[in-house]
Amino acid sequence: ALLKKTLGLKTTTTVATSRSFKEDRIWLNGKEEDITHPRLQSCLREIRRLARKRHNDGDATSTELTGLSQKVHICSVNNFPTAAGLASSAAGFACLVYSLAQSFGVEGELSGVARQGSGSACRSMYGGFVQWIMGNQEDGKDSLAQQVEPESHWPELRILVLVANAERKPVGSTSGMQTSVQTSCLLKHRAESVVPHRMEEMIKAVRGRDFPAFAELTMKDSNQFHATCLDTYPPIFYLNRVSQQVIHLVHRYNRHYGETRVAYSFDAGPNAVIFTLQQHVPEFVHFIQHFFPPETNGEDFIKGLPVKRAAVSEQLKQSVGLEPMPKGINYIISTKAGPGPRVVKDPSLHLLSPDGFPKL
């Protein structure tokens, strides 16, 4: 089982079906993508299969029946870098599956469908704190997501995404994990001996809102994940020198205060996800701004939830004892645990025009 905090990063997806469409098509962030991608096809095929089953059971409406025989146009936009190691495929596939299900009238458990697009997408089908249960069946059909706590459970918890690199990563998450499974002895040990107990401890920390325990588990698990990447043959390097500097800064910041106020986590990419409590956000954001002086300030550097101004003491700067790294961080996204997929009812926010093509 794996736990995911559903981050307040957003994917918006619009789906349309029409008899006038000649083929299935998809646009991502304004650019048409290959609809024949195997993972996309898996999700489309499974949603259509479930829709046909609903029809055969006599539960489908006439509108849903009409849509089954038509081609689909999909348009999706992220408010964060795609394929840069910020779970963009997870959010994208979760939103895609939910939108398709709404369009075709498919109801019920959808995390297993989303998992066919991206493993992590199954967790993005729910809000808040979510675990991915491994399951026991050989076909993987019982490998599903389960919400541990909703996004409202820990209102003081805040998330800062430090975007060090918005470029497409050289090794994708799926291909990287496949290589790790084949070559890393550490990954096998991690899966069998570390993760099960760590999951129990993490759920306990989340439910008890125990930030020091939560923070330590988060950082240790991130570190071990990247250790398995290095143990992979040939090794995979997702972190860069900016990532390493963030790790040093977090540990020195916590050491200065004599308590764990901040935690980092890195998935398959160089961008840091920082967890802290609301009262520490202003100082830590400006602390990062000091050690990674940006080209631009204000709104261009800090996006998302507003962050109050705060001074960083000379004592803290001297205690950390590291040299600033100009332009290391492109920008910061200030956010918190968010909900799962929801229907957007405002037509002005729909991404497809009435003719079924992207508005932009």
SS3 labels along the chain: CEEEECCCCCEEEEEEEECCCCCCEEEECCEEECCCCHHHHHHHHHHHHHHHHHHHCCCCCHHHHHHHCCEEEEEEEECCCCCCCCCHHHHHHHHHHHHHHHHHCCCCCCHHHHHHHCHHHHHHHCCCEEEECCCCCCCCCCCCEEEEECCCCCCCEEEEEEECCCCCCCCCHHHHHHHHHHHCHHHHHHHHHHHHHHHHHHHHHHHCCCHHHHHHHHHHHHHHHHHHHHHCCCCCCCCCHHHHHHHHHHHHHHHHHCCCCEEEECCCCCCEEEEEEHHHHHHHHHHHHHHCCCCCCHHHCEEECCCCCCCCCHHHHHHHCCCCCCCCCCEEEEECCCCCCCCCCCHHHCCECCCCCECC
With a cut of 70, say whether residue 325 has pLDDT above it.
yes
Tally of residues, the chain = 360
Residue 229, pLDDT score = 95
Residue 4, pLDDT score = 38
With a cut of 90, say whether residue 121 has pLDDT above it.
no
Confirm if 12 and 77 have CB atoms less than 8 A apart: yes
Q: What angle do CA 213, 119, 142 make, to 5 degrees?
A: 90
Residue 292, pLDDT score = 96
Residue 166, pLDDT score = 60
Give the residue, 39 or 299, on which the prediction is more confident. 39
Q: How far is the CA of 22 from the CAs of 10, 69, 71, 270, 282, in angstroms?
A: 30, 12, 7, 40, 52
The mean pLDDT of 25-53, rounded to a whole number, is 92
Q: How far apart are CA 2 and CA 4, in angstroms?
A: 7
- The tokens for 281 are 């956000």
- The tokens for 339 are 């909900």
The dihedral through the CA atoms of 324, 328, 329, 330 has a sign that is: positive
Give the residue, 295 or 178, on which the prediction is more confident. 178
With a cut of 90, say whether residue 10 has pLDDT above it.
no
- Report the percentage of the chain scoring pLDDT > 70: 89
The mean pLDDT of 317-330, rounded to a whole number, is 95
With a cut of 70, say whether residue 3 has pLDDT above it.
no
Amino acid type, 250 = V
Q: For 234-263, what is each residue's pLDDT tens digit?
A: 999 999 999 999 999 999 999 999 999 999
Q: For 40-88, what is each residue's pLDDT tens digit?
A: 999 999 999 999 998 888 776 655 556 688 999 999 988 776 654 444 5
Q: How far apart are CA 223 and CA 93, in angstroms?
A: 26
* Averaged pLDDT score across all residues of the chain: 89
Residue 261, pLDDT score = 98
Residue 117, pLDDT score = 85
The mean pLDDT of 105-133, rounded to a whole number, is 91
Residue 85, pLDDT score = 44
Sheet with 145-149, side-by-side order of all strands? 2-5, 129-132, 145-149
Confirm if 203 and 252 have CB atoms less than 8 A apart: no
Q: For 153-180, what is each residue's pLDDT tens digit?
A: 999 999 999 998 665 555 666 677 789 9
Confirm if 12 and 95 have CB atoms less than 8 A apart: yes
- The tokens for 327 are 């332009």
